[in-house]
Amino acid sequence: MRRRTAPRRIAILRALQLGDMLCVVPALRALRTAAPDAHITLLGLPWAAAFVQRFDAYLDHHMVLPGVQGMPEQAAADDALPAFMAAVREQRFDLALQLHGSGILTNPLIMALGARHVAGFYIPGHDCPDATRFLPWVEQEHEVLRALRLMQFLGFEAQGEALEFPLTDADYAALQRLDDVLPAPDMTACIHPGARLPSRRWPPQRFAEVADALAQDGLQIVLTGTAQEAPLTHAVKSAMRAPAIDLAGKTGLGAFAALIAGARIVVCNDTGASHVAAALATPSVVICCGADPQRWAPLDHRRHRMVFHDIFCRPCMHVDCPIGHPCALGVSVETVVRQAQEVLLEKPRAEGSMVPVKTMAAAGTARRAP
């Protein structure tokens, strides 16, 4: 699509979790560069209000998408959908972008929002809403590059592929307020054993063995996770020989990211922590259990290593593996330790890495007017 004028009011449908949201930041950057005066609204999950606030350089407003039948991110809320649809239609968007997925469930939804133009993805063989604005969905395409492909198709030129995670003074202050005495940043190895689905988790015992190996190399171990993941970090710490600081449930997202920004290395499952590390240019080793590594691996293969055991049933659609979790057990401790040691030999930061820091004043800047 060749644009004659930039759209003034834009809606983006992407009701997903943190890692998924970070993967579209390069697309948001391209969109904002092409339409600097547009009012851009994210139609997302409830938690994403904080994402919009953090990324206020690219997003102006947040509207909560109620649960939709067939979308697993939240429980269906059919009674709330009519009011949501009416509220969106009142916005009279010039452009609505379906960046949520293949379009099987979301294309009918976004076509009903009343936007002047609609764009996104469709699965070949299914109805294409508009061949001038919808692209074929390629299942194994990298998530960052997929969103950028749509932006370029619509005439919004890419402004680089790097992820971002703006940090504020408040994020660093929250980290400093922790009761735990944290090691010097350049001596920290962050071990993040959690993931939303059990099928995506490498065993805690193996994380413990990796942590012990990194401790033997002189690094100090910090375990991270949400409050719900505290049993996992406790299991890792209990299996370790070396001491470790357990911060599960003690950090908000900002303090967690500030910790990651200063860490020497992150070892984690293929989850949001991986994308935070990539956004902050912190070296990482990512164990991919069940997911598609071609779609989710960090694009910088020098600084970030994704390890996985190839298996016929990938990508996994199960919450719990029904066949003994061979994708996880096929990744050895030795492989992860070797990759971590190789990453540690690389330069910790590359020139030009995008690690923006927002001051408190900048964080409070007024939004663009609708």
Q: Which amino acid would we find at residue 318?
A: H
In the chain, domain spans: 9-153, 167-345
Q: What is the pLDDT of residue 173?
A: 95
**Tokens of residue 182, six digits:** 């944290």
Class of domain 9-153: alpha beta
Pair 99, 27: CB distance under 8 Å: yes
pLDDT at 364 over 70: no
Task: Give the whole-number percent of the chain exceeding pLDDT 70.
Answer: 92
Strand partners, 40: 10
Span 232-245, pLDDT tens digits: 999 999 999 999 99
Q: Average pLDDT, stretch 274-299?
A: 95
State how far the Cα of 232 lies from the Cα of 210, in Å rounded to an integer.
Answer: 15
Tokens 């644009």 locate to 3
Of the candidates 165, 217, 223, the one whose C-alpha atom is nearest the C-alpha of residue 187 is: 217
State how far the Cα of 334 lies from the Cα of 348, in Å rounded to an integer.
Answer: 22
C-alpha 258: how far from its chain's center?
A: 16
pTM here? 0.90
User: Who has greater pLDDT, 277 or 290?
Assistant: 277
Kindly indicate the confidence band of residue 347, based on its pLDDT and cuts at 50, 70 and 90: low
Q: What is the pLDDT of residue 75?
A: 83
User: Who has greater pLDDT, 57 or 2?
Assistant: 57
Q: What is the pLDDT of residue 4?
A: 54
Q: What is the pLDDT of residue 362?
A: 29
Span 40-94, pLDDT tens digits: 999 999 999 999 999 999 999 999 999 888 888 888 888 999 999 999 999 999 9
Pair 242, 216: CB distance under 8 Å: yes
Class of domain 167-345: alpha beta
Pair 276, 22: CB distance under 8 Å: yes
| Domains 9-153 and 167-345 are alike in CATH topology | yes
Task: Give the whole-number percent of the chain exceeding pLDDT 90.
Answer: 80
Span 218-273, pLDDT tens digits: 999 999 999 999 999 999 999 999 999 999 999 999 999 999 999 999 999 999 99
Q: What is the pLDDT of residue 169?
A: 96
Beta carbons within 8 Å of 177's beta carbon, 6+ residues apart: none
Range in 56-60, 112-116, 178-182, 317-321 with the lowest mean pLDDT: 178-182
C-alpha 284: how far from its chain's center?
A: 15
Q: Average pLDDT, stretch 32-45?
A: 97
Torsion of CA 107, 112, 113, 117, to 10 degrees: 70
Q: HEC profile for the chain?
A: CCCCCCCCEEEEECCCCHHHHHCCHHHHHHHHHHCCCCEEEEEECCCHHHHHHHCCCCCCEEEECCCCCCCCCCCCCHHHHHHHHHHHHHHCCCEEEECCCCCCCHHHHHHCCCCCEEEEEECECECCCCCCCEEECCCCCCHHHHHHHHHHHCCCCCCCCCCCCCEEHHHHHHHHCCCCCCCCHHHEEEEECCCCCHHHCCCHHHHHHHHHHHHHCCCEEEECCCHHHHHHHHHHHHHCCCCEEECCCCCCHHHHHHHHHHCCEEEEECCHHHHHHHHCCCCEEEECCCCCHHHHCCCCCCCEEEECCCCCCCCCCCCCCCCCCHHHHCCCHHHHHHHHHHHHHCCCCCCCCCCCEECHHHHCCCCCCC
Q: Which amino acid would we find at residue 353?
A: S
Strand partners, 42: 12, 62
Q: Which amino acid would we find at residue 258?
A: A
